[in-house]
Amino acid sequence: MLRVLRASKTRAALIVVSAAVLGVVAAPAVGVEVPLPEPPTTSGQEPPPPPVEAPTPPVPAPTLTPVKPATPAKASRARYRTLRRGKRGADVKALQRALKRRKHRISIDGVFGKRTKLAVRRQQKRLKWRANGVANAKLQRKLRLKPRWRPSTKNSAGARYLRVFPIVSDYTYWDNFGDPRAQGSHQGIDIMAPKGTLIVAPVGGTITRLSRVEQGLGGLWIWQRDSRGNDYYYAHLHSIVKGLKPGQTVKAGQVIATVGETGDARGTTPHLHMEVQPGGGASVNFYRDLVAVDSNRKASTRK
């Protein structure tokens, strides 16, 4: 019996070896795990290339669009303005001409000063009116004057008095109107900028006065008046454009001077001191106008 079992095992081993040599997988014996052959691989073939993506079109370089001055809003209807001491403008000049035609001794300079007030009082006494020296709408109509004054209206940028920012490059500013100064309350706004920075006219108008030599607290300065009788004052200038003179008309955005430290600003940080006087009267705070026309958004939170 032992010999029979040994002979059976020998035959089974020969069958398995023969199947391995011939490449034939024999049926597995019961209870024996036989690994299945792996699927044949295709050697010598490269994997398919990835799909080609469409090229991305190049992004064009941004074009620089020049900033245009804000266009003025539709002009409001002209009307009479109450004229009193300190007022300036074309309507004051028209009043002075009318008084001079009525034999009052008065100079025609567009400034409502002491002599203009006295002439108005004399005219009021002739008419047997209350002689207070104030030329209201009733007196101007009596003198056959036409309404000339137009109230300030906002332009497309939301500013009343400015069309462009007065400085063209690096600068900073804050609302310093009314701040205490040695000579009293600050009647303008200081815009800080490096010495020699270009200053442009923030609105179209006429140059009325200027000084190329240091005079008073402003040092080198320029006065400008627009078509509505508003006055603009630029002080502490380093230089004034060659050829600029009183009586010359300038456009908004035209270079008129450079930033400096003349006058009582000598030895301090260079800056432009600017004032706006509507109708030739008292200076007003135009900080909101500066913010409205400041495309660079360089207003400081400093107070």
- CA–chain centroid gap for 297, Å, is 6
* Tally: H helices and E strands in the chain: 5, 12
Residue 239: Cβ-neighbour burial (10 angstroms; 0-12, 13-18, 19+): middle
* Residue 190 host element (H or E): strand 189-192
First to last CA, the chain: 117
CA distance 115 to 111: 10
Digit-by-digit pLDDT tens for the chain (303 residues) are 545 445 555 555 555 445 444 444 444 444 445 455 555 554 555 666 666 555 555 544 444 334 456 565 555 577 888 999 888 778 888 999 999 999 999 999 888 999 999 999 999 999 999 999 999 999 999 999 988 776 666 766 688 899 999 998 889 999 999 888 877 888 899 999 999 999 999 999 999 999 999 998 999 999 999 988 899 999 999 999 999 999 999 999 999 999 999 999 998 999 999 999 988 888 899 999 999 999 888 877 665
Q: What are 220's two structure tokens? A: 């080198």
Which residue's entry shows tokens 């030895």?
Answer: 267
Residues 19 and 16: their CA atoms lie apart, in Å, by 5
| Domains in the chain, CATH or no CATH each | 90-142 (no CATH), 172-293 (2.70.70.10)
Could you give the CA distance from residue 80 to residue 82 in angstroms, rounded to a whole number? 7
pTM: 0.57
